[in-house]
């Protein structure tokens, strides 16, 4: 069998960063790290009210919220539960 059209695909660290952001809260601040620039970020209260909506301007960001609250974080199509 002869191979004629071999195409190299790039995989590695950048793919992992995009799929596994680091998310944590500290003293009322939500931290999002290791995600791609321009990803859409939305933060919802448990009542469904949106608290923040915007795009990632860098690979990390912080959002000031209410300490001791529970939020739902959406980054593009993935959702995460965050307790501050």
Q: How many domains are there within the chain?
A: 1
6 occurs within a structural domain: no
4 occurs within a structural domain: no
What CATH number is associated with residue 31?
A: 2.60.40.3080
5 occurs within a structural domain: no
Q: What is the pLDDT of residue 2?
A: 58
Q: What is the pLDDT of residue 51?
A: 96
Q: What is the pLDDT of residue 20?
A: 82
Q: What is the pLDDT of residue 10?
A: 52
CA neighbor of 35 nearest in space, from 14, 21, 52, 23: 21
What are the mean pLDDT values of the chain's consecutive 10-residue runs (84 residues total)? 55 51 92 94 94 94 93 93 90
Residue 64's contacts (CB-CB under 8 Å, 6 or more residues apart) are 28, 29, 30
Q: Which residue range(s) make up the domain with 58?
A: 13-83
Q: What is the pLDDT of residue 69?
A: 92
Q: Which two tokens stand for residue 60?
A: 């990390």
Predicted TM-score (pTM) of this structure: 0.73
């Amino acid at each position: 069998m002869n191979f004629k059209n071999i195409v190299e695909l790039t995989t590695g660290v950048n793919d992992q960063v995009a799929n596994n952001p680091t998310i944590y809260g500290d003293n009322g601040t939500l931290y999002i790290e290791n995600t791609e620039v321009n990803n859409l970020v939305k933060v919802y209260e448990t009542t469904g009210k949106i608290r923040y909506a915007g795009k990632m301007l860098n690979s990390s960001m912080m959002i000031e919220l209410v300490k001791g609250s529970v939020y739902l974080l959406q980054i593009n199509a993935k959702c995460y539960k965050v307790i501050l």
